[in-house]
DNA sequence: ATGACTTGGACACCAAGA
């Protein structure tokens, strides 16, 4: 089975590329982030016509996640238990559409768009940390219920866990994505018994900013990951970032990361 | 070339991204 994650930065702007990816890479399941649309705006037809089912979670032009599968799509869950809400200045707190899970081909696949954090002193940063903590607690509870669970927590984690995951640590001094609390929150998933399965299977980045020639200069970040339960981690055979997808007109700023899962 | 941001809303600027 071939499972992938990709922050597409608008599904309406990227639908052609997503459809082409599914076919070219022979994907069974694709978890996408930053769909940036309400459910009724999602372009379902090209995917259903190609034999896929689609589960979406979206509210407006911000955030939004979806799962596209041709190996079943059961037990769809929007949000996770105790998922923190975020209050924009002067507004009521809202649980944003950043998490979606479904069982596909016997694997509980999560499509996750971890909050950005914005600045270390910003309320969004505290929101990011509590969001990660509660997600980790939920993942722990799933593993506790069933140590043999097949779990894949895939998505845009918005954290560069190691210094080599950004092109220049000096550029990120005092910035989000590299701070110790964020990295601690990331590695807490390892402590909870999950394994980030892409780390040992490739080197390099998964994101390059649109600005300042970041891609041609290969000034990127590695922030897209897949945390898997023990029973699933042992089935992962390969993990590959598709750098080709960052090229040309109409590219997302992230590239897909594809996992090959043994039967 | 892999090339100097991109997206979507209500808009002709702005928020947000990382």
Q: Give tens-digit pLDDT for A212-250.
A: 999 999 999 999 999 999 999 999 999 999 999 999 999
- Closest nucleotide to A172: CA versus each C1': B18
For A171, list phi and psi in degrees, rounded to 5: -65, -30
- Closest nucleotide to A211: CA versus each C1': B5
When the pLDDT of each residue in chain A is averaged and rounded to a whole number, the result is 97
Quick one: pLDDT at residue A246? 96
Q: How far is CA A174 from the centre of its chain?
A: 24
Residue nearest to nucleotide B6 (CA to C1'): A210
Quick one: pLDDT at residue A89? 76
Residue nearest to nucleotide B17 (CA to C1'): A116
Alpha-carbon distances, residue A22 vs A93, A161, A209, A230 (angstroms): 36, 29, 24, 27
What is the CA A232 to C1' B10 distance in angstroms?
46
What is the CA A198 to C1' B12 distance in angstroms?
44
> Average of pLDDT values for A44-58?
98
The Cα–Cα gap between A262 and A32 comes to 22
Evaluate if residue A90 carries a pLDDT over 90.
Answer: no
Strands (E), A174-250: 195-196, 224-228, 236-241
Confidence of residue A53 (pLDDT cuts 50, 70, 90): very high
């Amino acid at each position: 089975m071939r499972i992938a994650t990709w922050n597409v930065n608008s599904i309406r702007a990227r639908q052609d590329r997503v459809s082409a990816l599914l076919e070219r890479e022979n994907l069974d399941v694709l978890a996408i982030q930053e769909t940036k649309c309400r459910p009724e705006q999602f372009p379902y037809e090209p995917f259903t016509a190609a034999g896929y089912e689609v589960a979406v979670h979206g509210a407006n032009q911000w955030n939004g996640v979806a799962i596209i599968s041709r190996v079943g799509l059961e037990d769809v869950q929007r949000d996770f238990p105790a998922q923190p809400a975020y209050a924009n200045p002067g507004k009521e707190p809202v649980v944003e559409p950043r998490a979606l899970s479904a069982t596909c081909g016997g694997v509980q696949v999560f499509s996750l768009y971890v909050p950005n954090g914005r600045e270390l002193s910003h309320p969004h940063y505290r929101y990011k940390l509590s969001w990660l903590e509660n997600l980790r607690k939920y993942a722990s509870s799933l593993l506790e219920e069933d140590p043999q669970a097949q779990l894949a927590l895939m998505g845009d984690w918005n954290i560069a866990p190691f210094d080599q995951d950004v092109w220049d640590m000096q550029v990120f001094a005092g910035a989000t994505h590299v701070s110790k609390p964020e990295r601690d929150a990331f590695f807490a998933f390892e402590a909870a018994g999950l394994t980030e399965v892409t780390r040992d299977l490739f080197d390099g980045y998964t994101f390059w900013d649109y600005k300042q020639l970041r891609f041609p200069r290969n000034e990127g970040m590695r922030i897209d990951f897949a945390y898997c339960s023990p029973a699933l981690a042992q089935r992962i055979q390969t993990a590959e970032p598709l750098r080709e997808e960052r090229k040309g007109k109409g590219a997302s700023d992230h590239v897909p990361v594809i996992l090959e899962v043994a039967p």
